[in-house]
Amino acid sequence: MIQSPEILSRRADVHVQRSGPGDVEQCSGSRVCGGHAEISGHALAVRRNVLTLSAEQKRVFVSALDQAKRTTHPDIVIATRHYSEIFGPDNSTQFQNISIYNLFVWTHYYSVSKTFLGDGEPSFSAVDFSHEGPGFLTWHRYHLLQLERDMQDMLRDPSFALPFWDFSTGGSECDICTDDLMGARSRFDSTAISSNSIFSSWRVICESVEDYDTLGTICNSTESSPIRRNPAGNVARPMVQRLPEAQDVAACLEIDAFDTPPFYSTSSDSFRNSIEGYSAPEGPYDPVVRSLHNLAHLFLNGTGGQTHLSPNDPIFLLLHTFTDAIFDEWLRRHTADVSSYPLENAPIGHNREFNMVPFWPPVRNAEMFVSAADSLGYSYEVQWPARALTLTQIITVTVVAALIIVAIVFAAATCVVRSRSFGTETRQPLLGDQYQRYDEQHKTQSVV
Ligand SMILES: O=C1C=c2cc(C(=O)O)[nH]c2=CC1=O
């Protein structure tokens, strides 16, 4: 993945407009603040729930994605051989053009691909630059930002914003799998996309993973099979037949620590591992659990559920914008600064000051650990679920409510009794008086 020096200098001095009118931040010299020179002075891009877009906005979004799939990236080419073979026999370089959307797919593939150790050697699979570590959120944040900025440039619309899919429905339906959005299920093949959707004509890249691992090649821009998707259809694994619940989102937002040792997929009480979905949403690590982001991927049950291929299904980007929205909300609620992010002892590529592989020009994890609205030029419009009460809270509320009811009933009963006896008392003295006076006057005893 390379860019020309001319492009690097073009991106080095930009302005981003922040939330308030006239509040323009100078981002001179920053590689990530603002991105493209062309977006100088543009307004904050607002990422919205894709289901709330109008019919016309949905059509425009789907058509923009399709344009990105077909438009060659103006600045970046990809390497299709490892370093030692980057120059071919005739000194030709092994680089290829790639489309804007396919670069998004390739970048993710590259970040998770095995390390080639040489002919005949098994490739090394223990490195993942974008998952199972603190960099999961920062890496995917920049991944989305790069696509959004590339699409803003392609459309010449600096306000273009990627929408999000709120996958926390708790249901077994894919509510965005409709022909006006990500494509309905085909009526003829339950694992394919309906021919009424443009996405049925999309072809995936990076499918020949065996070749890359054994021959030492790298995914190139050749497109092969259609997207496969069978939401909730994994009968062998009932746990991934339902999407996460809104309460899972609420629970993970309450976790205080951004990440915890060993800063891996086995971390407990880590917000990052909880939203990534290797631990229960409340925090404890459990090897059988798949929740939130991981569960949403596995629910798709096809291209979108295989890590080296998943961005080929455009649902990937909507799933990740929602994950990023949760990350942004966590930063806000916990008023976190970069010191919450581990400086060391995280897996390779995941430490705070490490560059995120393979983005170019280099971007560090720390640069993405910031409020999106304050520093990155976009914000989210989301309704967050209120946290459900715990059992202890439910018992406490029930006991207090019962005591209040008892007190009210007791008070009401006391009032009734008092008012009755007051009524009797207020009549009796009159009778008593009368009786007494009569008795005193007549000196007789009679009952009135
Ligand atoms: O594309 C992805 C697919 C995934 C599957 C799991 C899992 O938990 O098994 N996790 C994934 C992350 C991805 O990014």
ipTM here: 0.94
CB atoms within 10 A of CB 51: 14
Q: Residues 153, 34: contact at Cβ < 8 Å?
A: no
How high is the pLDDT of residue 88? 77
Distance CA 321, CA 47 (A): 8
DSSP letter string over 357-403? TT-SS--BGGGGSS-HHHHTSEEE---PPPPPPPHHHHHHHHHHHHH
Q: For residue 99, give the amino acid letter.
A: S
How high is the pLDDT of residue 443? 55
- 23 to 42, 149, 383: CA distances (angstroms): 11, 21, 26
Distance 255 CA to ligand 1 centre (A): 22
Distance CA 112, CA 126 (A): 9
Which residue, 109, 177, 125, 139, is CA-closest to 293? 139
Phi, psi of 344 (to 5 degrees): -145, 175
Our answer on whether the CB atom of 307 is closer than 6 Å to any ligand 1 atom is: yes
pLDDT in tens, 146-179: 999 999 999 999 999 999 999 999 999 999 999 9
Distance CA 436, CA 430 (A): 9
In residues, how long is the chain?
Answer: 448
How high is the pLDDT of residue 418? 84
Residue whose CA lies nearest to ligand 1 atom number 7: 294
How high is the pLDDT of residue 1? 60
Distance 276 CA to ligand 1 centre (A): 9
Q: Residues 98, 78: contact at Cβ < 8 Å?
A: yes
CA angle 309, 205, 177 (to 5 degrees): 60
Q: Which residues contact 186 (CB under 8 A, 6 or more apart)?
A: 192, 193, 194, 195, 200
CB atoms within 10 A of CB 55: 8
How high is the pLDDT of residue 442? 55
How high is the pLDDT of residue 84? 82
Q: The tokens of 340 are what?
A: 């919450």
Residue tagged 């993942």 (tokens): 128
Distance CA 284, CA 280 (A): 6
Q: Which residues contact 257 (CB under 8 A, 6 or more apart)?
A: 269, 270, 271, 340
CB atoms within 10 A of CB 427: 10
Our answer on whether the CB atom of 310 is closer than 6 Å to any ligand 1 atom is: yes
How high is the pLDDT of residue 214? 84
Our answer on whether the CB atom of 305 is closer than 6 Å to any ligand 1 atom is: yes
Our answer on whether the CB atom of 297 is closer than 6 Å to any ligand 1 atom is: yes
| CB neighbour class for 158 (10 Å; exposed up to 12, middle 13-18, buried from 19) | buried
- Point out the residues of the chain with pLDDT beneath 70: 1-42, 389-391, 422-448
Map residue 81 onto helix, strand or coil: strand
Distance 131 CA to ligand 1 centre (A): 9
Distance 332 CA to ligand 1 centre (A): 26
Our answer on whether the CB atom of 302 is closer than 6 Å to any ligand 1 atom is: no
